[in-house]
């Protein structure tokens, strides 16, 4: 017969362990004096003066409020999104259950209560390093044809997106190797190298600005009467990248710095030849241009190591002819982090031979 104490032990072993205590803290990246976004416990004093990227815990919320914070109805700033992604990626080394949610300029951190202090310190360090670092970006647009698209696929670079969105692919290929794969029927467009402060927006545009005569207007001029004046419309035709970059400084033993990038990629195409039509203005016929413009766009948010080359797929140039295959647009990105006071190395001067 089983003794009563042993039975109690067996029952206790069969019961699930109680869940570990959780902590949900809300931080603001742009704290202003006297701001309080909720009741409850304030973890740190509010700074006396406005200070961008200042990470101060405003209040501790209940875990039941996480669903409301996770609502997509509240848009977040790019800096908050990138910082939340970097901190979550880093914090999962010691707390696999951590979640960082960006809403507005705030970041809600859902973590194990025992790890709250470590996550808070990490968030502070990340916001500080984002102010101290700058980022250099090298961006190229790759326009493969059917043959070069197949060559890229064989080399491990897909030319199509993932589930209708962006596909971010790390590659060890050098620019020369990629150029060789595009040589037969592809194109590449290199943008000037950018240097940007961490957390600031950047723009890369390879656009032709078309000025088209799209209307004629009647203006009354003294002593001349009615005068017909042309009206022009400017239309962009080409490719662009608009985004934000943020860097998290980490020691070498933790893998070194980490960079987060958020991109909005866009392609705009104007059908050619541009059709014309005649319009009657003030009793006279005038010719106007009637352009057909098609646009496509793609959003991507990802992290990478400094010096790591990635290729983003999922964008395509719009087409106009029925049955015409889409032409993919790939964006090749290489990012590095540098200190704000660090000057990029200049190339060594080429010696000049005297004759």
Output the pLDDT for position 109. Answer: 84
Residues 273 and 165 grouped into a single domain: yes
205 falls within a domain: yes
255 falls within a domain: yes
| Mean pLDDT of the 86-104 span | 86
Residues 80 and 177 grouped into a single domain: no
pLDDT, tens digit, for every residue of 117-176? 888 888 877 777 766 778 889 999 999 999 999 999 999 999 998 887 899 999 999 999
* Weakest-pLDDT range from 30-44, 129-143, 190-204, 269-283: 30-44
Output the pLDDT for position 13. Answer: 55
Residues 161 and 300 grouped into a single domain: yes
162 falls within a domain: yes
Residues 220 and 272 grouped into a single domain: yes
Higher-confidence residue of 65 and 348: namely 65
Residues 256 and 154 grouped into a single domain: yes
Residues 128 and 140 grouped into a single domain: no
| Residue 79 DSSP symbol | H
CA distance 328 to 186: 10
Instruction: Read off the tokens for 348.
Output: 């060594």
- Exposed, middle or buried: residue 332 (CB in 10 Å: 0-12, 13-18, 19+)? buried
Determine the structural domain holding residue 92 and report its residue range.
Answer: 20-133
15 falls within a domain: no
Residues 327 and 276 grouped into a single domain: yes
| Mean pLDDT of the 290-308 span | 89
Q: Is 13 helix (H, G, I), strand (E, B) or coil?
A: helix
Residues 145 and 273 grouped into a single domain: yes
123 phi and psi angles, rounded to 5 deg:
-65, -40
353 falls within a domain: no
Give the torsion sign (CA, 169, 171, 175, 179). negative
Confidence class for position 193, pLDDT limits 50, 70, 90: confident
Instruction: Count H helices and E strands in the chain, helices first.
Output: 6, 16
Q: What's this model's pTM, rounded to 2 decimal places?
A: 0.71
Q: Tokens 């939340």 map to which residue?
A: 84
Give the torsion sign (CA, 115, 117, 123, 129). negative
CA distance 189 to 178: 12
Residues 81 and 157 grouped into a single domain: no
CA distance 48 to 57: 15
Q: Which long-range contacts (CB under 8 A, 24 or more apart) does 128-131 make?
A: 128/53, 129/198, 129/247, 129/248, 129/249, 130/53, 130/79, 130/83, 130/198, 130/199, 130/246, 130/247, 130/248, 131/52, 131/53, 131/198, 131/199
4 falls within a domain: no
Confidence class for position 65, pLDDT limits 50, 70, 90: low
In contact, 262 and 244? CB cutoff 8 Å: yes
190 falls within a domain: yes
Residues 241 and 159 grouped into a single domain: yes
355 falls within a domain: no
Output the pLDDT for position 331. Answer: 94
DSSP string covering 80-133: HHHHHHHHHHHHTTT-TT-EEEEEBTEEEEEEEGGGHHHHHHHHHHHHHHHHHE
Domain boundary among 112, 133, 154: 133
Mean model confidence pLDDT for the chain: 77
pLDDT greater than 90 at residue 53 = no
Beta bridge partners of 264: 242, 299
Residues 70 and 161 grouped into a single domain: no
| Mean pLDDT of the 264-293 span | 91
Structural domain count, the chain: 2
* Weakest-pLDDT range from 114-118, 207-211, 347-351: 347-351
pLDDT greater than 60 at residue 12 = no
| Mean pLDDT of the 218-238 span | 87
């Amino acid at each position: 017969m089983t003794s009563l104490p042993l039975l109690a032990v067996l029952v206790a072993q069969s019961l699930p362990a109680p869940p570990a205590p959780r902590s949900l803290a809300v931080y603001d990246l742009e704290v202003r004096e006297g701001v309080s976004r909720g009741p409850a416990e304030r973890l740190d004093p509010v700074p006396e003066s406005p200070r961008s990227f200042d990470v101060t815990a405003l209040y501790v919320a209940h875990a039941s409020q996480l669903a409301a914070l996770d609502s997509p109805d509240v848009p977040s700033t790019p800096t908050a999104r990138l910082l939340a992604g970097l901190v979550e990626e880093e914090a999962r080394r010691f707390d696999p259950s951590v979640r960082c949610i960006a809403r507005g300029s705030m970041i809600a951190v859902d973590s194990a209560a025992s790890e709250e202090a470590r996550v808070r310190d990490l968030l502070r360090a990340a916001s500080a390093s984002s102010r101290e670092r700058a980022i250099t970006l090298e961006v190229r647009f790759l326009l493969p044809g059917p043959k070069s698209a197949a060559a890229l696929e064989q080399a491990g670079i897909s030319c199509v997106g993932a589930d209708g969105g962006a596909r971010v692919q790390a590659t060890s290929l050098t620019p020369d190797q990629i150029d060789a794969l595009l040589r037969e029927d592809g194109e590449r467009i290199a943008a000037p190298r950018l240097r940007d402060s961490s957390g600031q927006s950047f723009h890369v545009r390879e656009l032709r600005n078309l000025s088209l005569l799209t209307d004629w207007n009647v203006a009354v001029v003294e002593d001349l009467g009615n005068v017909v004046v042309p009206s022009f419309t400017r239309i962009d035709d080409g490719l662009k990248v608009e985004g934000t970059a943020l860097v998290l400084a980490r020691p070498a033993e933790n893998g070194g710095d980490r960079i987060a990038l958020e991109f909005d990629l866009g392609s705009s195409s104007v059908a050619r030849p541009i059709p014309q039509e005649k319009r009657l203005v003030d009793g006279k016929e005038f010719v106007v241009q009637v352009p057909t413009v098609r646009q496509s766009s793609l959003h991507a948010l990802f992290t990478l190591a400094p010096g790591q080359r990635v290729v983003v797929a999922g964008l395509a140039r719009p087409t106009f002819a029925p049955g015409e295959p889409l032409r993919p647009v790939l964006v090749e990105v290489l990012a590095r982090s540098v200190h704000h006071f660090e000057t990029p190395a200049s190339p060594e001067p080429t010696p000049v031979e005297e004759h």
